[in-house]
Structure 1
Amino acid sequence: MIVSRRDGAVVVVTIDRHESRNSLDAQVCTALREAVEAAAAEADAEDPVRAIVITGAGTAFCAGADLSGGVYNSDFVDAHAAMLRAVEAVPVPVIAAVNGPAIGAGVQLALAADLRVVVPGAVFAVPVVKVGLALDNWTIKRLANVVGGGHARSVLMTARPVGAEEAARIGLANEIGDLDTAMELAAELARSAPLSLRHIKTVINDDDARLLPRDEHTELQKQAWHSEDMAEARAARQEKRPPVFRGR
């Protein structure tokens, strides 16, 4: 499910669920969080970990939430949020080696990382407007902080896939390359001053993405999650037809 290995000062954490294209459920989110925290715990050891690379097994980075794994309940929501906070908060740089499609929750995982190395042919997509759901404030604001408000509106409101080259153009991808490229970048960071890197990461992440949502935002998110439109999207998926949304 989650495989960790160490290569010098770098720990590689792999989501190994290629049969489900590395989708996430509560158990996977918890295991990934624990793997990242365990690697980060070695940051101050005698033989320290200096960087973490997160990637996926097979041909996908992460196809999003596992829709067959209870992702509509609070257990998944809580485990997923804790995983993202852990990736964001660990004191060493985290690189997402995006080796294939990153969809929905996969985009969120990539955004929680400090840097993203994206293989040619990979795509990012956040299809919430296609399924009647609503994102948390952190995801929307973090995407806007990474790529700018205009690009974030385009990515989220159209739900169009963003390829690797376009991701690099708008700043969603820091480099184009495979896992070897990500490992080279991680090794470069591992040779840099760790306290300087920790300071940079902490300051950049001290943006407004973690501010508590206003009551208006919370109410709108609840409306979407408990709407007839969301139920319609789930039914349409099961019946293999396009959903018909009515705004209620």
Structure 2
Amino acid sequence: MITVEIGGAEFAEITIDRHHKRNALDVAHLDEIASAVEASVASGARAVLITGSGSAFSAGADLDGVYGDGFRRALYAAIDAITHAPIPVIAAVNGPAIGAGTQLAIACDLRVAAPTAVFAVPTARNGLAVDPWTIQRLNGLAGGATTRALLLGCDTLDALDAHSRGLADRIGSVEDARVLALEIATFAPLSLQYSKTAIRMLTEPASWDGQLDEQFERCWNSADFAESQIARAENRAPRFVGK
């Protein structure tokens, strides 16, 4: 379930409310996030705050659903709704943001990380891959060293480390993020819209070629990916062979 509230100077707060699964993302919840962002813009909100219920921002993809059809479509539709919204979107990262949770957080324009927040993109542990946009976004926010640490080393960054590397903009609570959203909601809307659009267009050109797309699809269609699913069902470590 996704809850949406409008408060203060017309900023919307979207809460991923699936705490019994640490806000793991499936197709239905991703579709709701995209719809909630679009509805917030349509309602006249001047900023959007996204957070999670309970102690997690999002534990990432619901692995019971990531193997099914439509997950990638839903994930990238949610990311696209956030990045193309004509108003600032702030992530209140109230706890772990893992995999797709990190992708959702970096899609937002600003991130306020609670002291308990952690970021990780452990795709190499389960035979998956993130799209070129995610790699480019990570690199733009936190640099090549952090991108390599997350994707090649499968490192986990705590809030302080994420802040020092530029992955988090501020350390603070959800309430601190609300104060920021409230302040941003008082700024000039046309100026904010221009700046957000200009930043996206000038710093994140779609410069990758078909080779990346081909390798990305190979990961998702590989025997290693299938092995990770079998290993999870059998409660064992996967045995990857590179096929």
Same fold per superposition (TM over 0.5)? yes
Equivalent position of 1:5 in the other structure = 5
Match of 2:55 among 34, 59, 68: 59
Output the amino acid matched with 2:54: G
Equivalent position of 2:155 in the other structure = 160
Structural mapping, 1:30-69, within 5 Å: 30-43=31-44, 49-69=45-65
1:58-88 Cα deviation digits (max 9, x unpaired): 000011111113x223422112111110011
1:87 matched to 2:87: no
Indicate the SS of the match to 1:134. coil
Equivalent position of 1:245 in the other structure = 240
Deviation at residue 42 of structure 1 after TM alignment: 2.8
Give percent identity, aligned residues only.
Answer: 47
Equivalent position of 1:28 in the other structure = 29
Decide which moves more: 135-144 or 223-232.
223-232
Indicate the SS of the match to 1:158. coil
Output the amino acid matched with 2:232: R
Match of 1:96 among 83, 91, 98: 91
Runs of 4+ aligned residues of structure 1 deviating over 3 Å after TM superposition are 207-210
Deviation at residue 213 of structure 1 after TM alignment: 4.1
Match of 1:107 among 102, 112, 120: 102
* Count of aligned residue pairs for this structure pair: 242
1:177 matched to 2:181: no
Deviation at residue 194 of structure 1 after TM alignment: 1.4
Contact 1:139 1:209 in 2 (8 A): no
Output the amino acid matched with 1:20: K
Output the amino acid matched with 2:29: V
Indicate the SS of the match to 2:70. helix
1:150 matched to 2:151: no
Equivalent position of 1:46 in the other structure = none
Equivalent position of 1:16 in the other structure = 17
Output the amino acid matched with 1:6: I
Output the amino acid matched with 2:14: V
1:110-145 Cα deviation digits (max 9, x unpaired): 011000000002111101010011111111111111
CA pair 76-56 structure 1, distance change in 2 beyond 3 A: same
Q: Measure, in 2, the Cα distance between the counterparts of 1:131 and 1:207.
A: 33
Report the TM-score when normalising by structure 1: 0.93
Contact 1:52 1:93 in 2 (8 A): yes
Indicate the SS of the match to 1:144. helix
Structural mapping, 1:117-156, within 5 Å: 117-156=112-151
Match of 1:220 among 215, 230, 235: 215
Gaps of 5+ in 1: 44-48
Output the amino acid matched with 1:121: T
| Aligned residues: CA RMSD | 1.4
Match of 2:182 among 167, 170, 187: 187
Indicate the SS of the match to 1:184. helix
Gaps of 5+ in 2: none
Contact 1:56 1:99 in 2 (8 A): yes
Q: Measure, in 1, the Cα distance between the counterparts of 2:75 and 2:150.
A: 21
Deviation at residue 153 of structure 1 after TM alignment: 1.2
Q: Measure, in 1, the Cα distance between the counterparts of 2:120 and 2:14.
A: 22
Contact 1:132 1:233 in 2 (8 A): yes
